[in-house]
Structure 1
Amino acid sequence: MRSLQLIEDRKLEIVDVPEPEAPAAGEVTLRVKAVALNHIDVWGWRGMAFAKRKMPLVIGAEASGVVEAIGPGVATVLPGQLVSIYGARTCGLCRPCREKRDNLCENVSGVHGFHLDGFAQEKVNLPARLLVPAPPGVDAVGAALAPVTFGTVEHMLFDNARLEPGETILVHAGGSGIGTAAIQLAKKIGCTVITTVGSDDKTEKARALGADHVINYRSDRFEGVVRKLTKKKGVDVVFEHVGKDTWAGSMFVLKRGGRLVTCGSTSGVSTDINLMMLFQQQLRLIGSFGCRMENMANAMQKMARGLVHPVIDTQVGFSDIDKALERMEGRQVFGKIMLMIE
């Protein structure tokens, strides 16, 4: 079968590998249907160093598949069922795992496509407990976007930031995969959504998703526009995943008692924090990583009900993956790039 492997920095190859053996107890064999590309794939492609990473490495951290065979003791999924795949190899035994706080696993082995072989291969064996069945009405693309694109946002907005109807939120990088999800999820509960984009051609696309105000951060300082839009009161929540370049401005546009929730640092991992602003304004800075499997299930239920939908930039096959990663690296994308495996 085919697998897409990172051989060395910026070098991907399609490699023929043996098909997986029959699934062991508690495992299933999946035929992978769709893989969603993320910045985590770009980081690995660039050659950023990570502990435990060894090459060659199968890429792909977010995917869906169809159950082809089940091992002894598996009762949660059936052959032929479409499932979404949780992207981290958790232990399933520690207290956070037992309490369904999956992304706080105390013995996680790593993230697939990052530390461990990922899902950009035709078949893979996985523990059945890491699979979330897709409800009727959700296709392979939607199921592939549940673990990171929608699950991460569900966890950020509702588990961590506790976003409430009627609040005002600033969503950075509204054209990114998680940005498009955040706009939709916030708008569907009745929030006023302000978002930033990097080009004028993305403005109308962001408005079509429900954004009330769209700021081109290349031509306007978002801090000034947000302060003007909110009559200097600021926003209730900032959805942050850019990092160093936007951090100071993100804190500045928060209202007193506002919450900043972050899951990324694409522009840099270190920044300064104005501590006086932090305590005088009683701000809350919240780190968020990954999601719980319940977030994935909730996201797919919303897709099935038509409340939100995947935003797809392009679909590619194995042979076009380099071009797809270059497109992501150049920030030309609006929504998600999907690797379809047929």
Structure 2
Amino acid sequence: MRVHAVGISRSDRDVYLGRRPVPYVRYPVTPGHEWSGTVTAVGEGAPASLIGRKVVGEGLRTCGTCAPCRDGETTLCTRGYAETGFTLPGAMAPTLLLPARLLHTLAPDADLTAAAFLEPAACAAAAVLKASPLPGSRVAVIGSGALGLLAAQLLCAFSPSELTVVGTSPDRADVSRRLGATAYRTWDRASGLADFDVVIDAAGGTSSAHTATSLLRPGGRLVLTGIPVQGAERLDPAQVVARQLSIGTAFGASSGAWSYAVSAFSAGRLTPLELLTHQLDIDEFGRAMELTDSGDPRVGRVLLRP
């Protein structure tokens, strides 16, 4: 593929700073797992019809033959962890080589800049599908980063009666509402929230999972996604059992979650360009990392152009 654009996430920052857990990175590595591009050549056995197609691609290099893969749970592949941009060369380069079976083709008129957000959208889709919200549900998302806001937009398709996003900065209120939230609260104003049917924790903070359980009604469902920070506050099993809470997790995105996210994007139900604030050339990689690590609420998603 000729790479059109590549996004930068917290995981890329952790790779750059040497903070990613050892099993999930292998140095030296070319980073870049959020990308879009165009197929320029195919190898033996891959259909020639792919040449010229706009595409995105799954990052996890799964075997496709073990029991979890055959059940559709490709993120649980028993072959072990291997992922583009972390243990294998990524997209922060002019070209990227990927197994054809991991590609998802896009419409000829698809916006490749927006499509570069489909990897985090697929991860958000995995969390939303695990949450299984019903129409009319009261739903909350903890986290106003890309993962949380993309989850919020996908949740809109389930017609919730209320969709509240809880974030760290009041500056994220407008974009949250544009992406479908009916309300936005900062942490210091979240104490009165309660009785939600579904909560997705997309923040992975030190206390976000524990806080999420307090937002749920008895019998509610919590989904944890992303990699929690070290030292995160533990959940109280007695509270979970007594209130009969259901807890699910989502790490990465299965092939099914990818298909769901790509379909939502193609149907116009995902508009991820709302999250984009900076586009830089690849030789500005250092500045891109500084922006991503700045903590400035005005900095949304940063894209590099290889």
Query: Which TM-score applies when normalising by structure 1?
Result: 0.81
The CA deviation string for residues 242-264 of structure 1, in whole angstroms up to 9 with x for no partner, is 23222221111111111111112
Are residues 1:65 and 2:64 paired?
no
Equivalent residue of 2:41, what SS?
A: strand
In the alignment, structure 1 residue 339 sits paired with structure 2 residue 304: yes
Match of 2:292?
328
Secondary structure in 2 matching 1:285: strand
**Structure 2 equivalent of residue 100 of structure 1:** 72
Deviations 1:84-141 (A, max 9, x none): 1111111222233234332121114412222222221111222111111113442212
Which residue of the other structure, out of 240, 246, 250, is the alignment partner of 1:278? 240
Which of the two has greater strand per residue? Answer: 1
Mapped partners of 1:40, 1:91: distance in 2: 23
1:18 paired residue number:
none
1:240 paired to 2:211: no
Deviation at 1:336, TM superposition (A): 2.2
SS in 1 for 2:287: helix
Aligned 1:41-56 pairs, distance under 5 A: 41-48=12-19, 49-51=21-23, 53-56=25-28
Q: Aligned match of 2:211 in 238, 249, 264?
A: 249
Maintained 8 Å contact 2:26/2:86: no
Q: 1:44 to 1:172 in 2, by over 3 A?
A: same
Matching residue of 1:305: 267
> How far 1:47 sits from its partner (Å)?
1.1
Q: Is the 8 A contact 1:135 1:301 kept in 2?
A: no
User: Which residue does the alignment assign to 2:110?
Assistant: 138
Match of 2:122 among 151, 161, 168: 151
Output the CA distance in 2 between the equivalents of 1:329 and 1:77.
Answer: 41
Closer, same or farther in 2 for the Cα pair 1:247/1:45, shift >3 Å?
same
Greater shift in the superposed pair: 40-49 or 72-81: 72-81
Q: Unaligned regions of 5+ residues in structure 2, if any?
A: none
d(CA) in 2 for partners of 1:285 and 1:295?
19
Q: Measured at CA, do residues 193 and 137 of structure 1 come closer, stay the same or move farther in structure 2, by a change above 3 Å?
A: farther
Aligned equivalents of 1:214 and 1:107: distance in 2? 41
Separation in 2 of the partners of 1:270 and 1:197?
A: 17
Partner deviation per Cα, 1:229-274 (whole Å, 9 max, x = no partner)? xxxxx11111113232222211111111111111124543542221
CA distance in 1, matches of 2:132, 2:26: 38
Distance 1:316 1:138, change over 3 A: same
1:101-140 matches, within 5 Å, as 101-140=73-112
- How many pairs are equivalent? 300
Q: Secondary structure at the match of 1:97?
A: helix
CA contact (8 A) 1:238 1:260 kept: yes
Change (3 A) 1:216 1:53: closer
For residues 136 and 269 of structure 1, the distance between their equivalents in structure 2, rounded to whole angstroms, comes to 46
SS at match of 2:97: strand
1:264 pairs, out of 226, 241, 251, with: 226
Greater share of helix: 2
Q: 5+ unaligned residues in a row in structure 1: which ranges?
A: 1-29, 228-233
**Map of 2:154 onto structure 1:** 185
Instruction: Summarize deviations over 1:34-59 as a string: whole Å, max 9, x none.
Output: 11211110111221141374433101
| Equivalent-residue separation in structure 1 for 2:246 and 2:231 (angstroms) | 19
Q: Secondary structure at the match of 1:225?
A: coil
Corresponding letter in the other structure for 2:138? T
Contact 1:35-1:120 at 8 Å conserved across structures: yes
1:124 alignment partner, SS class: coil
Identity of aligned residues (%): 27
30, 39, 62: which is aligned to 1:90?
Answer: 62
- Check the 8 A contact 1:88/1:112 in 2, yes or no: yes
The one-letter code matched in structure 2 to 1:258 is G
- 1:316 shift after superposition: 1.5
- Residues 294 and 50 of structure 1, relative CA distance in 2, 3 Å threshold: same
Q: Would the aligned equivalents of 1:135 and 1:300 in 2 still touch at CA under 8 Å?
A: no
On the 8 A contact 2:164/2:183 being kept in 1, the answer is yes
* Cα shift readout 1:163-198 (whole Å, capped 9, x = no counterpart): 222111111122x11122112111232111111222
* Change in CA separation of 1:320 and 1:275 when aligned onto 2, cut-off 3 Å: same
Match of 1:75 in 2: 47
> Is residue 316–residue 324 contact of structure 1 (8 Å, CA) maintained in 2?
yes
The answer on whether the counterparts of 1:35 and 1:62 sit within 8 Å (CA) in structure 2 is yes
Instruction: State the one-letter code of the partner of 2:106.
Output: A
2:193 is matched with which residue: 211, 222, 226? Answer: 226
2:121 partner amino acid: F
Classify 1:135/1:164 alpha carbon distance in 2 versus 1 (closer, same or farther; 3 Å): farther
